[in-house]
Every structure is written in structure tokens, then in C-alpha cells.
Structure 1
Amino acid sequence: MEASELYKSYETDFLLAQSEIEQKLESISTLERDARTSAVKAVERTIGEAYEILDQLSVEIQNIPSSSRAPLSANLRQYRQSIQSAKKQLANVEQAGARNELFGDRSAGGDGDIALDQRQQLLSGQESLDRSSQRIRDSQRLANETESIGANILTDLRGQREQIQNSRNTLLEADGYVDKSIRTLRSMTRRMAMNKVLTYLIIAVLVILILLVLASKFW
């Protein structure tokens, strides 16, 4: 069974976030102090979003049959490792920037750089908001599907309960019929025994009468 459409959607969101992180990390060291600070914050936000997406992927994997989980779980581990690596790289960039500032190796950024960074930050924030909104919609859809499945399960359980109750009533009726049959058989057995005794008595009387008739001929 292939990955679900929801899983693929989350995976696409993650790959976009991962690409955005890598691009910003490549250029962040060339920025001036203020622009670098804003870029670091933007990368931190994107890393946080990436972790949220990974959590969604982890949840979605649990809804996939166990026979198909192994490759997806392996991909998930690689994704986590890549984000952890990016997080460490970002920390190194921050430390390097702090060292440069400590030793005075810095220069004032131009207004153009600040304006460009603000624009990039706004665009990044909008993209982040769009992705978060999409994940919320996907989560809501998943919740609705889960609720629908739960309602169907409850309906099936009620139907099974009625079937069990009907089967129980049928068994009780059958048990009553068995009791009646046993009583009828016992009554028939007693009647057969009485009829057998009466038959023996009639035969005995007939034998006695025959003997009396024969005896009367000789007297």
C-alpha cells in the first residue's frame, strides 16, 4: 500500500521547508549583523515548522499498514537528522557571528539590505502562515474522517449488539422447545409402559380363559 495523500502533502511541505532552511543557511553568513539576526530568526521559525510537520508525518505513518511503514519510517529518521544538522549549523553561525561582533569584525548594513531582509521576512512569514493553515485544514479533515469512522463503528457495534440479543432470544426459545419436547417424550414413555402392562394383562387373561375352556372340556 502506498503512502496516503495526506502523508504526501506533509512530506511536500517538509521538503519545501528543508530547502528554504538550506538556502538561508548558505547565505546567512554573508549578511550584515541586523540582516543576519533577522535571517537567523527566520530559520529558527522554519526549523520549528519543520519539526511540526515531522510530528504530523509520524502520526500519519501510524495510520499506514505496518507492512508499508518501514521505508517511510526510515525517511522520517533521515528527515529528523537533516533538521537536527541544520539546527547545529545555525547554532554555529550564531556563534561565529557573536565572535565577529566581540572582536569588532562587523560593518553597518545599508538601508537596502534591511529593506530586503524585511521583505524576505514578510514573505517567509506569509509562507509559514499558509503552510500552517494548510496543516490545520488537513488536521481538521483527518479529524472529520476519524469522527465519521468512529460513528460507523458505533453503528456496527449497535447492529452486532442487536444480533447478539436476537440470537440470545432465539436460544431461549429453542431451550423452551427442548424442555417441552423432553416432557412430551417422558409422557409418551409412560404411556407406552402403561400400554405394555395392559397388553401383558390382556394376554394373561386370554391365556387363563383358554385354559379354563380347555379344562371344562375334560371335566
Structure 2
Amino acid sequence: MSKAEKASAIFTEHEHGYSVLSAEITDKMNIIQGNIITGDSISGPCAELDRLMAEAEELLEQMELESRDQPERLRQTLTNRVRSYTAELRRLAKDYSNIKNRVSRRELLGGEGSLSAAEAEERMLDNTELMERTGNRLDEGYRMCLESEAVGAEILSDLSGQRETLTKTRARLRETDSELGRSGRLLSGMLHRAVQNRVLLILVGAVLLVAIGYALYVLFTR
């Protein structure tokens, strides 16, 4: 697996983990608001929600780091997703802060008695709105997962095409190297024959010179 493929798989895993955490955070907020309405203790759910918030923030930081290792065309898309998740987590944190502020005001005004009808209706409306936003986030997360899968498949296809091109190029280089080897051997043979011909020509010339010299010598001595 290449570095880009590994980074993409890690980011997708973090993205899925964040979607699960986001749903758990929303569920805990609904539980807290329900406990406020019924007068039950919220200290346990609040502690659990604080932990989930911290985990979500840490996961977003890891997603941001992984997005930097992606190819250029995918990096911006994933960066935008991280920004969207970060903005969503900030909205959840703001909603959580508003809930705690309302609880603090109630405690200052006389403890955790039962809510009035208007307050109970307001809490129910808040819960309904929160659940609708959660459903929208889940739908958006699913859509983004599908987009990530499509982009990942496209990257894998490109890598496969590049690997095939490299394989063909390597094969052509082997053929070229083989042709160059044959050409080198052919040139070496031609050079060897040329040297042999030159040596033979020199020998023939030397024999002719000796024969001519001998003929002249015989001619003049007689």
C-alpha cells in the first residue's frame, strides 16, 4: 500500500470515528436535557460528555494532520471537511455551554426543582432541533464517506494506470538495452574485421615490396 493510500484509509477511519463520537455527544446532550426536565442528576452525563468532547477535538486534530499527507487535489477537499467538522463541534460545544448556563441559572434561582410548562416546552423544542441537526450531520457524514470512497477509487485507478505505464516503459527500456547490446557486439565485430583487413593489407604490401626489391636486385645483378 502506498503512502497516499495508507493516509486516505487512516483519514476515512478517523472520519467514521468522529461521526460515531458526534452521535454520542448529541445523545448525551439529549440525556442531560431530559434529566433537567425530570430533575435527575446531570453530573454523570456531563462528565461523560466532557470526555467525548475532548476525544472529538483530538480526533479532528489527527484528521487535519492526515489530510496534509494527501495528494494536492484531495488535500483541499479533506481540509474543507475537517473545517466543517470543527465548526459543527464548536456548535455542539456552544449548545452544551448554553445548557450548563441554564442549569446554573436555575440553581441560583432555587435549585433543581421541576420546570415550568414553558421551560419544559422550550427544552423539548431544543431536543427536537438537536435531533434534527444530528440526523442532518449523519446524512452529511454518510455523503462525505461516499465521496471519499469515490475519490479513493479514482486515486487507486490513477495509480494502477501509472503502474501499468511504468511497467511498459521498463519493458521498452529492456528491449532498448538488448538492441544496444546487439548493436555494440555488431560494431565490435566490424571493428575487429577492419583491423584484420588492415593487417592483411599491410602484409600484402610488405610481400609486394619484398618481391619488387628482389626482382630489381636480380635484374641489376645480371
TM-score (norm. length: structure 2): 0.57
Counterpart-to-counterpart distance in 2, 1:181 and 1:211: 45
Runs of 4+ in 1 over 2 A off after TM superposition: 31-35, 51-65, 75-107, 109-119
Of the three residues 87, 99, 120, the one matched with 2:104 is: 99
Question: Which residue does the alignment assign to 1:190?
Answer: 199
Counterpart-to-counterpart distance in 2, 1:114 and 1:88: 17
Of the three residues 149, 152, 156, the one matched with 1:140 is: 149
Letter in 2 for 1:178: L
1:126 partnered with 2:135: yes
1:201 partnered with 2:206: no
Question: Which residue does the alignment assign to 1:22?
Answer: none
Equivalent runs, 1:45-194 vs 2, <5 Å: 55=63, 59=67, 62-64=70-72, 89=94, 92-93=97-98, 95-103=100-108, 104=110, 108-110=115-117, 112-194=121-203
Q: How many residues align?
A: 169
Distance 1:76 1:120, change over 3 A: closer
Conserved in 1, the CA contact under 8 Å of 2:37 and 2:123?
yes
Conserved in 2, the CA contact under 8 Å of 1:54 and 1:80?
no
CA RMSD of aligned residues (A): 4.4
- Consecutive unaligned residues of structure 1, counting only runs of 5 or more, are 1-30, 214-219
Q: Whose radius of gyration is greater, 1 or 2?
A: 1
Letter in 2 for 1:100: R
- Consecutive unaligned residues of structure 2, counting only runs of 5 or more, are 1-32, 43-48
1:119-167 C-alpha deviation (Å, 9 max, x unpaired): 3233222211210111111111111111111111111110111111011
Distance 1:34 1:194, change over 3 A: farther
